[in-house]
Amino acid sequence: MSVDDEQLIKDTFGRGFDAALGLRLTDVTADLVAGTVEMSEQHHQPFGIVHGGVYCALAEGTASIGGFTWLQSSGIGGTAVGVNNNTDFLKSISTGTVSVEATPVHRGRRQQLWRVTMTDGDGRLVATSQVRLQNIELPEGVAAPDVTAGA
């Protein structure tokens, strides 16, 4: 299953903290979530480079979107929330486009493990993450968006 309707992606995932970071999703499937962020001063720590928390947040956001998409497309239902995020920062940058790709390593009944890579405009790895997700039921009164509509 893929979410190939750009408006559906924006309506479903283009809100909240991911939107505040400037994450622009380019591909959402059960096996890959990809996107880009234009890094600027709003992403900096006090010394003028991208704050490590930005990379952690991008990793958890894209992994969670992938986990949710897989749960919905597989018929399991519910959603996935981050319970562990291990991010290594490999190269500091100040500005430019960062590409993010999240892919599954393991998907089970209770938990999922996703690998996330973040590269700069020259394709150099700037950060890599491993995010463990817990599969949970949606909170009471919350309806899952229909990510199969554009598939």
Domains observed in the chain? 2-136 (3.10.129.10)
CA distance 107 to 105: 7
* Cut 0.85: pTM above it: yes
Distance CA 6, CA 142 (A): 23
Q: Are 67 and 133 in contact (CB under 8 A)?
A: yes
Alpha helices (H) along 14-118? 16-21, 52-73
Is 60 annotated in the active site?
Answer: yes
* Three-state DSSP state, 49: coil
Annotated active-site residue in 60, 101, 137, 140: 60
Q: Are 131 and 111 in contact (CB under 8 A)?
A: no
Reported as a single tens digit per residue, the pLDDT across 89-125 is: 999 999 999 999 999 999 999 999 999 999 999 999 9
CA nearest 100: which of 9, 1, 22? Answer: 22
- pLDDT tens sequence across 43-68: 999 999 999 999 999 999 999 999 99
Q: What is the pLDDT of residue 142?
A: 77
Contact assessment for residue 51 and residue 127, using Cβ atoms and an 8 Å cutoff: no
